[in-house]
């Protein structure tokens, strides 16, 4: 699905933007500059994942990064290009949610319910733990 969302961007002449950029850009537009840790907390994502996303956003000229309140932090803010994309990204976000609701109505089980159940199951035992349980080392 991400590839198809990205194709929507390309068809609209938006290059270098991936679906995972939308939520952080929208959040920054509504909150103003945030540190990576603040952004990660507000998005309910890991610091590492958001740090990687911010690096990609910076590479595409969508955000800036400046020293934060102490030497260990950086404040992330939107560039003009990033800010200009937010209205479209918000519209795409709403359209994507509508499309997911449409899919939920078309299949005998709700995709959102499946995701919630998967999240619950992975909270009780992580994917890593599950893989390790089944991992059989080749004889060596």
pLDDT at 72 over 90: no
The whole-number pLDDT of residue 127 equals 85
The whole-number pLDDT of residue 140 equals 64
- What CATH code is assigned to 2-104? 1.10.10.10
Q: pTM for the whole thing?
A: 0.79
Strands 63-67 and 34-35: unpaired
The whole-number pLDDT of residue 39 equals 97
DSSP string, 67-88: E-SSTT-EEEEE-HHHHHHHHH
Out of 36-40, 53-57, 118-122, which region has the weakest mean confidence (pLDDT)? 118-122
3 state DSSP class of 66: strand
Percent of the chain topping pLDDT 70: 98
Q: Phi/psi class of residue 32: alpha, beta or left (left: φ > 0; alpha: ψ in -120 to 50)?
A: left
pLDDT digits (tens, 9 = 90+) for 83-138: 999 999 999 999 999 998 898 889 888 888 888 999 899 999 988 888 888 887 66
Size of the chain in residues = 140
Closest residue by Cα to residue 6 from 98, 113, 17: 17
Residue 32 to residue 61: CA distance in whole angstroms: 17
């Amino acid at each position: 699905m991400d590839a198809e969302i990205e194709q929507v961007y390309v068809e609209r002449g938006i290059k270098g933007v991936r679906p995972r950029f939308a939520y952080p850009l929208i959040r920054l537009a509504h909150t103003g500059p945030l540190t990576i840790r603040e952004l990660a907390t507000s998005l309910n994502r890991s610091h590492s994942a958001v740090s990687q996303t911010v690096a990609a956003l910076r590479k595409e000229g969508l955000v800036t990064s400046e020293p934060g309140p102490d030497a260990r932090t950086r404040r992330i803010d939107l560039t003009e290009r990033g800010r200009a994309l937010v209205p479209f990204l918000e519209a795409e976000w709403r359209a994507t949610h509508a499309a997911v609701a449409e899919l939920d109505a078309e299949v005998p089980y709700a995709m959102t319910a499946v995701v919630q159940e998967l999240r619950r199951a992975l909270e009780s035992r992580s994917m890593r733990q599950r893989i390790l349980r089944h991992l059989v080392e080749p004889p060596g």
